[in-house]
Structure 1
Amino acid sequence: MSGPEDTDLPGGWEAAAAEYVLGLLPEDELRAFEARLSQDRDLQQDVEAWSEYFAALTDPVEAVAPPPQLLRRIEDRLFGRKRPSVWQQILPYLLGAVAAAAIAWAAMFSGLLDFRNKPDLWADLETPSRGLVLLAHYAPESQTFMMQRDAGDYPAGRSLEIWMIPEEGDTPISLGLVAEDGLTQIPMPQQLAEAMDGAAIAISEEEPGGSPTGVAQGPILSIAQMAPRDE
């Protein structure tokens, strides 16, 4: 290797070669070293020797894959991360709201969701043997099914369950329980709301909390078809 006696760099050319390989030379010394390196074969050999030496030090080190977010963190630290403006942050929400409004407008004016011309539906459900009188009412505009107990006592320790039987099919679908006091109000999902026209409503007496199987277990007390009422 080259000796330190033929240079004014601190530590000599050999030490400078080691610092060069490690990337530790200051800028002014780096320029002087590279100018000498291009012409000095011994210095080139020093650089090659140090490169091999330092590379051998890493051989026992097991390779570890860096976490995927490391590159992003490095880029953020080197180049800075520009914080999005307020408009950039809320723009996706605005676009979503506009799209939803456009769909609702198109559906309303195309008639898909136009409940204004659909009449309310009603059904009288009576059980004379118990003096039980129930009034079922479906309001298309709000997609709400309602039931009012106008007469008769609510069975003690039991539940009255409401079933809808669509016109296209004979499998009853549970809508919920009749409230023991006051008006029963049940929001209807779109699929059931579309099937309400022409459907029948039945009331069954069940164990507390309603049928656990999704099928009526107790006696059917009354059944009637939903239909518009004459004004």
Structure 2
Amino acid sequence: MAYSDDHIALAAEYALGTLDADERAQVETMMSVDKDFTVMVHAWEHKLAVLNQMVGSVEPRPELWDRIRTAVGHSEPQAPLMLPEPPAPLVAASVEELAAVVDNANVIRLTANARRWRTVASFTSAIAAVLVAMIGVGLVLPDVLPDRMRPRPRTQIVEAKALPAPAPSAQYVAVLQKEGGSPAFILTVDGATRSFTVRKVGASAEPGKSFELWLISDKLPRPRSLGVIGGSDFTSRPVLASYDSDMVKAATYAVTVEQAGGSPDGSPHSAPVFSGMLIEAVPPASAPAR
């Protein structure tokens, strides 16, 4: 059912504990016969309970109770105020005087209502301030709050987007062999990174000897070592990245037989036994297919 502003204010002040004895008795009587009003009172109690959770209890000092007892003991009951009986002319009050009395009663009732709503508004503002403070504490220092008031962690599922596959780079291949002979090594070079891989096909080093790979170019004063070819089937290195791309594609690649572990001084000590040049095996993605 719909309740007036006075009923709502009574429920709020009952939850706050600011009513006098007569008003509390009135509210409790209404609660005993009106379930909806009881629900409204309990709703206010729930809203205002947060104030109790944020404020700790304080035990008064013993001397305070002593002062209260002393003050009560010295207080004397006051005699009831006796008003004189109104004179006879007052009984026959005019209509104007009665209207003035009624107006004063209305003013008193409106003043009480205004005081009541100011009290409710003040506590509502206090609740809002407490809630804002709790939200701030929950974000910065969640461990300070009780367990039931801490914000629950939320899990956000982010859909992973597939990244575009990198465009394939050009691939170059050289068959290293004796003139007219069968392939001994196959050299592949990645056009983007200029790293190379040597695959052993039909060559085998003599005991105490090592195969060493060389880059030979007319732009260089002498052959440059690309390292010893290992004993496994594949040997990979990134050393070509330090050379110009055009030089890498146009150079001659040769293999010599050196002492175990390779040339000690960075120069070849025998004539090339296998050699070859790069050819484009896979074009880059931007190049048209042939």
TM range (shorter): 0.3 to 0.5
What TM-score, normalized by structure 1, do the two folds share?
0.44
Greater helix proportion: 2
What TM-score, normalized by structure 2, do the two folds share?
0.36
Larger radius of gyration: 2
Greater strand proportion: 1
